[in-house]
Structure 1
Amino acid sequence: MSVSTMTTKTEPTQPSSTPVGFNVLAWSAVMSEQLNPIADRLKTIGYDGVECFIDNQPVAAYRQFGEHLAQLGLQSTCVTVVGPDQNPASESASVRAQAVDFLKGAIDRAQAMNASVICGPIHSAFATFSRREPQPAEYAHSAEVLHAVGDYARQAGIVLAVEALNRFECYLCNTMSQLSTLIRQADHPNVRAMFDTHHANIEEKRFPEAIRTIAPVLAHVHISENDRGTPGDGHIPWDDTFRTLAELNYTGWMTIEAFTRNDIDFANSINVWREYNDPWDIAENGLSFIQMMQSKHGFRA
């Protein structure tokens, strides 16, 4: 048999390892030097990076934290939300302009921290409802804002990973199907999507189908238990999640997002009324759980 007619057995592609991060919102939404010792311990535990909240705090505070992370050898990502005065889906052109300005400011802060990703429900105002189903014009307005901000993100080397939330926190994007439609409308290489296991547990019928739906634009994953406590302690379909991500050769961040009442103002703003687990229990046992699941489903170490 000639070389040209031989058939070669192709081995399944082994998924690459993915960086694992921890969202410091479990301690505080405020950027300050008080996060430094938290980052130190997360590095010791074995995390690849940390995720922090971005709002309108001084750019210098993010730069200082980024310098501390660099000294530790930690990478970073960020999360943010928009309010009703900066709503990308608003019918008001002036409100949409404020959305662009706010998100550009978030990009400036993320760039100062050397972050690679800004994730969150930046498609529409958090916990703001129109009392009707999503309208085509709202998707169009949101997509226009995201495309404009995508240009700004590209020059900063940052990916915007847009997040779908559950029905109790937003109405524009609850599912991966809705989110995929919006990202296609935004039509920008720096505007991509995030999959959050907590929200998917409420809104999606089956995780594998949801993940495959968003796979072409998937850039970030939040590992979050159904009760927002330690991953692996609840009823999220973790095997389905990790198996599907492995099959798709996902190589982006897997970042734990869990909540506590350590930051009272933040906890009250997102309706967290009780403690789920101690944050260090979440960090230590959560990392062990992710590493175990990655190994089980074939991610390279």
Structure 2
Amino acid sequence: MTRFAANLSMMFTEVPFLERFAAAADAGFSGVEYLFPYAYDAAELADALRRNGLEQALFNAPPGDWDAGERGIAALAGRDEEFAEGIARALHYATALDCPRIHVMAGTARADYAAARDRFVERVRVAADAAAASGRTIMLEPINPIDMPGYLLNDVSLACELIERIDRANVRLQLDLYHAQIIAGDLTRLIRRTAPLIGHVQIASVPDRAEPDGGELALGHLLAELDSAGYDGWVGCEYRPAGDTRAGLGWLDHFTDAHPRPAAEHPIGGRS
């Protein structure tokens, strides 16, 4: 059965961040992910996971100056020391949270793409070698150019090519089906083609990035394809609820029996 992880950066925003762990567990989730843990003490987050019986599935390495528009620094010139420090910090949190996966963001590139890709390959190798010492995996996620213009890693085929170049067993593809559909579509063949590289999956509806049972994606079909391909990892729910998070969880009843609410009260699509 598919294991769903609630993305606490987007879901349950009706309550403060540290209260979202309990909200996710109460809604039937057994795992969580979020963008960044660094605003909180690692021990505090570990306690929130432990108290609520949750696993930490994924978080991102430090992305540079997010407020200034940076979306990762792994491909940016002149940032070697900052990148190494960021990976060390991420690994500290990963150990404290018993999190096996860290997403490393490439950053934007406006020119000299070949040099940026070369830097990205070398830096991810550094991150992967550091992560291997504690059994962690580095994730690379293609992000569509509409949501994130100029992002270097903006194509799934490119991500797969760079993973092959990086040549580290603990570097895997983070396949966000929302981004992949916008980038090129043809998701059934994409899953079959990239299955050996997939280390984490994320979902949301296209194009509104809300509950994953609506829009262009046939969620049941895609989850079945992942299962047939042998994927048994987490599926991160990285979507922005159309309304109240809990009220929109009717879709979850359809795909897992872990959800505690009566399905009749929250029909598929569950939006009011």
Note the C-alpha offset of 1:164.
0.4
Asked if 1:285 is matched to 2:250, the reply is yes
Note the C-alpha offset of 1:223.
1.4
One-letter amino acid of the counterpart of residue 291, structure 1 = T
Matches within 5 A, 1:189-204: 189-204=169-184
Partner of residue 162 from structure 1, selected from 137, 140, 144: 140
CA distance in structure 1 between the partners assigned to 2:18 and 2:81 by the alignment: 34
Which residue of structure 2 lines up, in the alignment, with residue 263 of structure 1?
Answer: none
Stretches of structure 1 that go unaligned for 5 or more consecutive residues are 1-16, 261-275, 293-301
Which residue of structure 2 lines up, in the alignment, with residue 88 of structure 1?
Answer: 74
CA distance in structure 1 between the partners assigned to 2:73 and 2:181 by the alignment: 26
One-letter amino acid of the counterpart of residue 139, structure 1 = R
Matches within 5 A, 1:124-203: 124-125=106-107, 128-130=108-110, 132=111, 135-168=113-146, 169=148, 170-203=150-183
Q: Which protein has the bigger helix share?
A: 1
Change in CA separation of 1:85 and 1:233 when aligned onto 2, cut-off 3 Å:
closer
Matches within 5 A, 1:248-259: 248-259=229-240
Contact 2:142 2:156 survives alignment (8 Å): yes
Contact 1:146 1:186 survives alignment (8 Å): yes
- Residue 256 of structure 2 aligns to a residue in which SS? helix
- Residue 70 of structure 1 aligns to a residue in which SS? helix
Contact 2:58 2:102 survives alignment (8 Å): yes
- Residue 277 of structure 1 aligns to a residue in which SS? coil
Note the C-alpha offset of 1:118.
2.0
**Larger Rg over CA atoms:** 1
- Residue 245 of structure 1 aligns to a residue in which SS? helix
Q: CA RMSD in A?
A: 2.5
Identity %: 22
CA distance in structure 2 between the partners assigned to 1:115 and 1:77 by the alignment: 6
Matches within 5 A, 1:1-301: 17-26=1-10, 34-54=16-36, 56-57=38-39, 61-80=41-60, 82-83=63-64, 84=70, 87-90=73-76, 92=77, 94-119=78-103, 122-125=104-107, 128-130=108-110, 132=111, 135-168=113-146, 169=148, 170-226=150-206, 227-259=208-240, 276-282=242-248, 284-291=249-256
CA distance in structure 2 between the partners assigned to 1:224 and 1:42 by the alignment: 17
- Judge which range, 108-117 or 233-242, deviates more: 233-242
Note the C-alpha offset of 1:86.
5.8
CA distance in structure 1 between the partners assigned to 2:210 and 2:54 by the alignment: 23
What TM-score, normalized by structure 2, do the two folds share?
0.81
Note the C-alpha offset of 1:129.
3.9
CA distance in structure 2 between the partners assigned to 1:107 and 1:95 by the alignment: 18
Note the C-alpha offset of 1:280.
2.0
Contact 1:162 1:192 survives alignment (8 Å): yes
Change in CA separation of 1:174 and 1:237 when aligned onto 2, cut-off 3 Å:
farther
Which residue of structure 1 lines up, in the alignment, with residue 270 of structure 2?
Answer: none
One-letter amino acid of the counterpart of residue 41, structure 1 = A
Contact 1:200 1:207 survives alignment (8 Å): yes
Contact 1:204 1:210 survives alignment (8 Å): no
- Residue 82 of structure 1 aligns to a residue in which SS? coil
Paired residues, what number? 247
- Residue 247 of structure 2 aligns to a residue in which SS? helix
One-letter amino acid of the counterpart of residue 126, structure 2 = A
Q: After superposition, what is the alpha-carbon deviation per residue over 1:183-208, rounded to whole angstroms, capped at 9, x for unaligned? A: 11111122111111111121123001
What TM-score, normalized by structure 1, do the two folds share?
0.73
One-letter amino acid of the counterpart of residue 19, structure 1 = R
Change in CA separation of 1:64 and 1:56 when aligned onto 2, cut-off 3 Å:
closer
Contact 1:51 1:78 survives alignment (8 Å): yes
One-letter amino acid of the counterpart of residue 140, structure 1 = D
Q: After superposition, what is the alpha-carbon deviation per residue over 1:147-199, rounded to whole angstroms, capped at 9, x for unaligned? A: 11112212233222211000131442222211101111111122111111111
Stretches of structure 2 that go unaligned for 5 or more consecutive residues are 65-69, 258-272
Contact 1:207 1:240 survives alignment (8 Å): no
Change in CA separation of 1:213 and 1:103 when aligned onto 2, cut-off 3 Å:
farther
